[in-house]
Amino acid sequence: MLPPTDKLAICFAHAAYRLHEQFSSLGTGINSFAVRDPETLAARVAEADVLVISGLWHDGLLDRAKKLRFVQAIGAGTDQFPREELAARGIRLASARGANYRAVAEHAMAFLLALGRRLPEARDNQTARLWRGMIGDSSQREDELGGKTLLIVGLGQIGGRLAQLAKAFDMRVIGLRRDPTAGHGAADAVHSIRELISLLPDADFVALTCPLTKETEKLINAEALARMKPCAHLVNVARGRVVDEPALVEALAAHRIAGAGIDVTAEEPLAANSPLWGMRQVLLTPHTAGETRRYEENVIEILRDNLGRLRRGEAQLRNLVV
């Protein structure tokens, strides 16, 4: 159970997000404070009953956080948290799944449009003040999405929304999910994720919207990339480690696939010497698919819901993990 409202302390730990400011403006009567770097977090985490955090987390905080009862992750992913250790200490954990599903789906759709319409190349030509002439080779021209096949790996909230957007462009959408009986939503068909290899040769675009688990780590490996069409594009808005990054670099360099839209990488920030930076057929964004002007508001809405449930002694939290 949480302490009374007037004795409760929430620590908002993030280098950039203005969660504390947004929460304070609501007049909840709850004491809260913000930390923006690891050193300040280590020094002040002992004051917190509730910790709202994502990238600043490290397991060494647990021995300092004697009062901690609840961790609200700022993002949908929670693979950085030691679930068994949290459970052993009686600390609850919930994700912010759903806070940015529309934004991430829109970002993935933007990748599809940008890659299909060759917008990275157009931007490069603009920078070079180059007016590209008409192209006789039709395979080198911009393309249309209508009639193309999109394979969505992970048909949850993000993948389901992406399917809706893709259908508006008259695409054929095939979804993969762990349990195909859970429904297909806007997708034309849904299959088990175990069928990935057999379905890859039919896809013009492969979009990764799945969580990172033991089963999905390096799911897109050399074998999977070899099964894709030479004219196909890979879009990753999931987690970087869902893709075998060296295998992807090799496939792109050898032109075994046409290109990639990448929002997440195996190590972040992406190393300055990564070949991905210099590949013209790659469109990179710095893990910003879920970031919008409304993100803090969306996370705090989930946090307040969970605080209410904890205060009422409910076992089931919104997006419960531990």
Q: Cite the active site residues.
A: 239, 268, 287
Q: Are 56 and 15 in contact (CB under 8 A)?
A: yes
Preceding peptide of 269 cis, ω within 30° = yes
Q: Enumerate the β-bridge partners of residue 176.
A: 153, 191
Buried b (16+ CB within 10 A) or exposed e, 60-94: ebbeebeebbbbbbbbbbbeebeeeebeeeebbbb
Whole-number Å distance between alpha carbons of 179 and 269: 33
Q: How many CB atoms lie within 10 A of CB 185?
A: 18
Token pair for residue 196? 């990935």
What backbone torsions phi and psi does residue 320 show, to the nearest 5 degrees? Answer: -60, 135
Q: Which long-range contacts (CB under 8 A, 24 or more apart) does 313-321 make?
A: 313/1, 317/92, 317/94, 318/94, 319/94, 319/95, 319/96, 319/97, 319/98, 320/92, 320/93, 320/94, 321/73, 321/78, 321/81, 321/83, 321/93, 321/94, 321/95
* Helix (H) and strand (E) counts in the chain: 10, 12
Whole-number Å distance between alpha carbons of 3 and 243: 43
Which CA distances in Å does 158 have to 118, 174, 188, 290, 292?
24, 14, 16, 10, 15
